[in-house]
Homo-oligomer: A and B are copies of this chain.
Amino acid sequence: MAGTDSSRPNAGANTPLSGGAPAIVLVQPQLGENIGMAARAMLNCGLADLRLVKPRDGWPNEDAVAASADAELVIENTRVYQTTCDAIADLELVFATTARPRDMTKRVVTPSQATGELRQFISGGGKAGVLFGRESKGLVNDDVSLADAVLSVPLNPSFSSLNLAQAVYTVAYEWMRFADETPDSEISYPKETRPGSKLELTHLFEHLERELDDSGFLRIPEKRPTMVRNLRNMFGRAGLTEQEIRTLRGVITALVGKRKKPKNSDADR
């Protein structure tokens, strides 16, 4: 549930049915729960081709189903292979997700670079995938040597052990992120309202300033222009809707009413 957005029409670009996407290959995964969480993370980001090489606890796996949060599209189509070579046989571009190799000469790329290359390759009709190793020790060098390049997530060097499902999510998230067209920042309005017009805002300002003049709040003439500007800036910054402007005008009236009522009984006015 947390922090998701299913309401954007353009998010449809991330559905698994909208075209090619990389295969996710888990080599000898140990915990079904991690496989399930990886499947869920994949589908969250529009990936659906999950392949397992010798899963320790066999397949299908109940823990995986439970942890997948109904990512059936992924779980039901998961394929199992006996070797990494078999699992990637039909692919033409493969990244191995692992730490920077210390004993091999290999190109190392960031997750964003890898997904950019995957997007380009797949949009050109190519078939591609990403390898992930087992939880306890990652990919073995023999598997890494099958890949075109190493995909390495740059993390806190003093605590860099990433959960398998988080590693899969890193790639899936970058894959989604690369093509996402959501505006970086925008105001979301409820359907029944709209941004307030400048005229409505001016009426609010005038209402407020009239009542503040009346109440004596703006009584010092040399300070009045600055205070008015500050108040207008304050409310202007809030980006008020038409509904909110009406609410604030009601607030002013209510506050004034409270003040005026007892005063009405005075000789003061």
Interface contact B177-A112, CB-CB below 8 Å: yes
At the interface, yes or no: A65 with Cβ under 8 Å from chain B?
no
Q: How large is the interface on A (under 10, 10 to 19, 20 to 34, 35 or more residues)?
A: 35 or more
A105, A113, A173 — most chain B CB neighbours (10 Å): A105
Task: Indicate if the CB atoms of A1 and B135 lie closer than 8 Å.
Answer: yes
Interface string of A95-109 (1 = CB under 8 A from B): 001111111111111
Report the stretch among A2-10, A202-210, A259-267 that lies at the interface.
A2-10
Given contacts A4-B153, A44-B161, A107-B185, list 9 more A-B pairs with CB under 8 A: A2-B133, A5-B99, A11-B155, A40-B163, A44-B155, A44-B166, A104-B190, A105-B241, A156-B176
8 Å CB contacts to B: which residues of A173-188? Answer: 173, 176-177, 180, 182-188
Q: A176 vs B152: C-alpha distance in the bound complex, in angstroms?
A: 14
Which 8 A-B residue pairings sit nearest by Cβ, starting from the closest? A3-B97, A2-B167, A113-B184, A4-B160, A6-B160, A5-B152, A1-B138, A154-B182
A53 at the interface (CB under 8 A from B): no
**Given the known A-B contacts A169-B169, A177-B112, A244-B105, are A3 and B99 also in contact in the complex, defined by CB atoms under 8 Å?**
yes
Say if the beta carbon of A64 comes within 8 Å of chain B.
no
Cross-chain contact B152 with A106 (CB below 8 angstroms):
no
What is the distance, in angstroms, from A78's C-beta to the closest C-beta of chain B? 16
Q: A176 to B190, Cβ gap below 8 A?
A: no
- A100–B1 contact, CB under 8 A? no
Tell me, yes or no, whether A52 is within 8 Å of chain B by CB. Answer: no
The yes or no answer to A14 lying at the interface (CB within 8 A) is: yes
Instruction: List B contacts of A3 (CB < 8 A).
Output: 97-99, 132, 138, 151-153, 162, 167, 170
A229 contact set on B, CB distance < 8 A: none
